[in-house]
Amino acid sequence: MTSPIVQILIFSLITDQRDGNAVFESLTTSLVGSGIQHVIFTTYERDSQLESLDTNAQVQRVYAEIWKRAQPETNIQFEPTIRGALATARELGKDYGSVQTLITGSQHLVGGALSLLQTSRTS
């Protein structure tokens, strides 16, 4: 039986200024037992793939391994753009009836997501 609400994490943190793995490890640990069923890793790109996807893919694979160690039952997906991550979350919500999404990691991700969500509300 499917839960009426799907809980999703959308995450991106690509940085040389701090230890992204340690940040994500801490987030992962704090979210154990939260009920998150899906994790979507993405980039900072809203619509197009301008950044080096190879570097981003490497970072995202490491994050996926960290998450799977703590929460192995979670479905993990990769989307190259913020718009794609939001669309995936919406589609998952349709399957369940409702969606709760935590978008975190970087201000670049959160700002891009907010901008896209505000645009979609007014169109």
pLDDT at 87 > cutoff 70? yes
Can you say whether the dihedral through the CA atoms of 32, 66, 6, 45 is positive or negative? positive
Reported as a single tens digit per residue, the pLDDT across 27-71 is 999 999 999 999 999 988 887 765 555 667 888 999 999 999 999
The verdict on residue 1 lying in a domain is no
Q: What is the CATH number of the domain that holds 28?
A: 3.90.190.20
Instruction: Quote the pTM value.
Output: 0.88
Residue with the two structure tokens 């979350």: 89
The verdict on residue 101 lying in a domain is yes
pLDDT at 1 > cutoff 50? no
Please count the structural domains in the chain.
1
Q: Domain span at residue 105?
A: 6-122
The verdict on residue 117 lying in a domain is yes
pLDDT of amino acid 49: 60
